[in-house]
Structure 1
Amino acid sequence: MKPEYKEYTIIAYTEDYLGLIGRINAIFSRRRISIVNFNVGPSEIENIKKFVIVIRETEESVQKISQQMEKQVDVLEVHYHRNPHLTVIEYAS
């Protein structure tokens, strides 16, 4: 059976340290996962960065990536969800 690839958004809150973008990017590069969209900016909390990463992958793979990101020392919290807009488009077809 062919794995089902869907678009997921991963949101990570991190401390503001130099080189963290490269370390997070390396997680995706090692697994050969293409990033659809990658945004980093300040969060609602002072000195905390918010990463918003969109990828097209299986849910199992996204879970593993989220767990691996949480193991990084400077990462405080990681969440992921399937993009709801794409679900509506799939059911409308």
Structure 2
Amino acid sequence: MKSENKEYTITAYTEDFLGLIGRINAIFSRRRISIVNFSAGPSEIENVKKFVIIIKESEESVRRITQQMEKQVDVLEVHYHKNPYLTAIVHAS
């Protein structure tokens, strides 16, 4: 039985940007995984950059991707979590 694809957020902390965006993109391209959202910028820690990547995949696929990302030289650590579905409650007046 195939796992259901859900939306996951991957957060990676890195030492450097130079060439790393291309290497990270290649990890997703080789697996033919579409990125829903990608943002990069400074983190809370000086000289450490933060990548936030949102994809829709199975948890097993996301786990393998994060392991592959951690093998990159400039990557310090990578985490992922399943995105919760937000519901809005509207109160009638």
Same fold (TM over 0.5): yes
What secondary structure, in the 3-state scheme, does the structure 2 residue paired with 1:2 have?
coil
Structure 1 moving runs of 4+ over 4 Å: none
Q: Give the equivalent residue in structure 1 for 2:50.
A: 50
Q: Give me the CA root mean square deviation.
A: 1.1
- 1:66 is aligned to 66
Query: Aligned equivalents of 1:11 and 1:36: distance in 2?
Result: 14
Larger Rg: 2
Aligned ranges for residues 12-91 of structure 1 at < 5 Å? Answer: 12-84=12-84, 86=85
- Comparing 12-21 and 26-35, the one that deviates more: 12-21
CA distance in 2, matches of 1:66, 1:2: 20
Output one character per residue of 1:19-64: Cα deviation in whole Å (capped at 9) or x when no partner.
1000000000000000000000000111110000000000000000
In structure 2, distance between residues paired with 1:56 and 1:5: 6
The 3-state SS of whatever aligns with 1:11 is: strand
Listed as ranges, the gaps of 5+ residues in structure 2 are: 88-93
CA distance in 1, matches of 2:2, 2:19: 36
The alignment of Structure 1 onto Structure 2 pairs a total of residues equal to: 87
> How far, CA to CA, are the matches of 1:21 and 1:38 in structure 2?
10
TM norm structure 1:
0.89
Distance 1:17 1:37, change over 3 A: closer
More helix by share: 1
TM-score, normalized by length of structure 2?
A: 0.89
Looking at structure 2, the residues matched to 11 and 46 of structure 1 have their Cα atoms a distance apart, in angstroms, of 17
Counterparts of 1:66 and 1:30, CA distance in 2: 14
